[in-house]
């Protein structure tokens, strides 16, 4: 057992939490629990102690063995803990056993993350997704809430308001789940409509992905001039935020997405489809990496992100790695980074270093999607110019002449044939 501590953000007095985990022999306790400590800190829990049991698999009934459970009870009391935080998703039987043994509140990893999500959801869709995930998590655990009535047994004399209330609660929960899913489908339909408009304009789309807290939102702000809130907390971004930047006269859309972690619970991957769908539908993914991390931790985070991208079906989308926070590296650190991630674009979102190169690399990815053309548009066909601007303002130059308007534009490949009647070549097409 080791004592723990953590600095917490300003706010209400943090709860005193005891951290519990089951790990196989050989696992690095400090490294494995680092993420749980940060999750606890973000949720407003101050770790006061940590208990780890070395075994291949958790006990199916109590999560830990009988001996470790006695140690846990003693430590929980001696440290005056207020909540037990477990670094796994407990099944209802394990959770009830721990609650009974400690006569205390037990929060598992999934519940902890859901609590953080509930704190950070801002949009209507984000709040609906949090509620849906919480209901689906709690539904199989409802019977435990009424276990004091089950002890009466079944049959004559026990079929009363308790069982009725349990069934009523389940029915209400299932009805609410159905309603939430319907509302989320409607919101996704609206989002799909917006995407179709975006696709018609052929505006290149870029999704920021990465381990939570690597600086994705800071990069979004630095690239686009947005003012998305940036704080040093896990899961600060839950709702997809899309902004744009221009480079070489071309507009690009950038979407920030939820930060990934190791062992992201399945229901959260499924439930937070809105932010993950933006990753799926992007033309390219910018995988943001914290360049200031030690090599082993950096490797773990890279693997975690790549695993989630693969799980959600984004593994086939082109990926451009971005090594952020290089302002924290000295000369030798930068050389090691270049050897470690030779294809990554080194940047510092905080100082602006490397952002111009990043924009250029993004533009390079899309360079073969457009053809540069010169068009002569007669004055009586002004709708053609309107159509050009509707494609995302691909007009680089324009000049009025006696014959009409000469423009130089970059058209998506599929639209070149559409404007073929207005194509011109040679000296007459020069715009000045």
Please identify, in words, the CATH class of the domain defined by 15-116: alpha beta
Helix (H) or strand (E) holding 279: helix 273-280
Q: CB-side exposure of 271: number of CA atoms within 13 Å?
A: 26
> 6 to each of 11, 17, 34, 104, 107, how far by Cα in Å?
14, 11, 11, 22, 18
Domains 15-116 and 370-429 share a fold: no
pLDDT by residue for the chain (432 residues), tens digit each?
A: 444 444 444 557 889 999 999 999 888 888 788 889 988 988 889 999 999 999 999 999 999 999 999 999 999 999 999 999 999 999 999 999 999 999 999 999 989 988 888 877 777 777 888 888 888 888 887 765 545 444 444 444 444 555 567 778 888 888 998 999 898 888 777 766 655 555 555 678 898 988 888 888 899 999 998 776 566 555 655 556 788 998 887 888 898 877 777 776 666 666 555 566 667 678 899 999 999 999 988 998 999 888 888 877 777 788 999 999 999 999 999 999 999 999 999 999 999 999 999 999 998 888 777 778 888 999 888 888 888 877 755 677 888 888 888 988 877 777 788 888 888 875 444 444
Kindly report the length of the chain.
Answer: 432
What does the domain layout of the chain look like in residue ranges?
15-116, 121-143+150-185, 203-365, 370-429
Burial of 47 (C-beta count, 10 Å sphere; 0-12/13-18/19+): buried
Q: Which fold has domain 203-365?
A: Rossmann fold (3.40.50)
Q: How far apart are CA 231 and CA 217, in angstroms?
A: 9
Give the tokens for residue 194. 């917006």
Question: At a CB cut-off of 8 Å and minimum separation 6, what does 26 contact?
Answer: none
How is 151-180 classified by DSSP, letter by letter?
TT-SSTTT-SHHHHHHHHHHHHHHHHHHHH
Q: Which fold has domain 370-429?
A: Alpha-Beta Plaits (3.30.70)
Q: How far apart are CA 207 and CA 216, in angstroms?
A: 10
């Amino acid at each position: 057992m080791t004592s723990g501590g953590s600095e917490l953000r300003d706010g209400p007095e943090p709860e005193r939490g005891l951290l519990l985990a089951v790990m196989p022999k050989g696992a690095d306790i400090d490294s494995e629990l680092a993420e749980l400590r940060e999750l606890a800190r973000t949720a407003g829990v101050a770790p006061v102690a940590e208990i780890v049991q070395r075994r291949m698999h958790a006990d199916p009934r109590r999560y830990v063995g009988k001996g470790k459970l006695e140690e846990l009870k003693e430590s929980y009391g001696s440290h005056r803990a207020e909540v037990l935080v477990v670094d796994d998703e407990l099944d209802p039987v394990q959770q009830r056993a721990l609650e009974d043994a400690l006569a205390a509140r037990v929060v598992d990893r999934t519940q902890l993350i859901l609590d953080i999500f509930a704190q950070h959801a801002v949009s209507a869709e984000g709040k609906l997704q949090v509620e849906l995930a919480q209901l689906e998590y709690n539904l199989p655990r409802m019977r435990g809430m009424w276990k004091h009535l089950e002890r009466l047994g079944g049959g004559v004399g026990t079929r009363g308001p308790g069982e009725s209330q349990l069934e009523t609660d389940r029915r209400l929960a299932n009805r609410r789940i159905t309603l939430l899913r319907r509302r989320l489908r409607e919101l996704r339909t609206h989002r799909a409509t917006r995407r179709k408009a975006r696709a018609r304009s052929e505006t290149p789309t870029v999704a920021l992905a990465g381990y939570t807290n690597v600086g994705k939102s800071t990069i979004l702000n630095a690239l686009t001039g947005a003012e998305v809130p940036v704080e040093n907390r896990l899961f600060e971004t839950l709702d997809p935020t899309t902004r744009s930047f221009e480079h070489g006269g071309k507009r690009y859309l950038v979407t920030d997405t939820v930060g990934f972690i190791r062992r992201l619970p399945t229901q959260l991957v499924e439930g937070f489809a809105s932010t993950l769908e933006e990753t799926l539908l992007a033309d390219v993914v910018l995988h943001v990496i914290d360049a200031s991390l030690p090599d082993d931790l950096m490797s773990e985070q890279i693997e975690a992100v790549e695993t989630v991208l693969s799980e959600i079906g984004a593994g086939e989308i082109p990926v451009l790695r971005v090594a952020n926070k290089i302002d924290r590296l000295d000369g030798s650190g930068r050389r090691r980074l270049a050897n470690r991630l030779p294809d990554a674009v080194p940047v510092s979102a905080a100082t602006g270093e490397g952002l111009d190169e990043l924009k250029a690399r993004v533009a390079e990815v899309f360079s073969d999607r457009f053809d540069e053309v010169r068009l002569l548009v007669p004055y009586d066909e002004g709708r053609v110019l309107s159509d050009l601007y509707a494609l995302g303002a691909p007009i680089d130059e324009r000049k009025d002449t006696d014959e009409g308007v000469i423009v130089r534009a970059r058209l998506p490949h599929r639209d070149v044939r559409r404007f073929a009647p207005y194509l011109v070549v040679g000296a007459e097409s020069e715009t000045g």
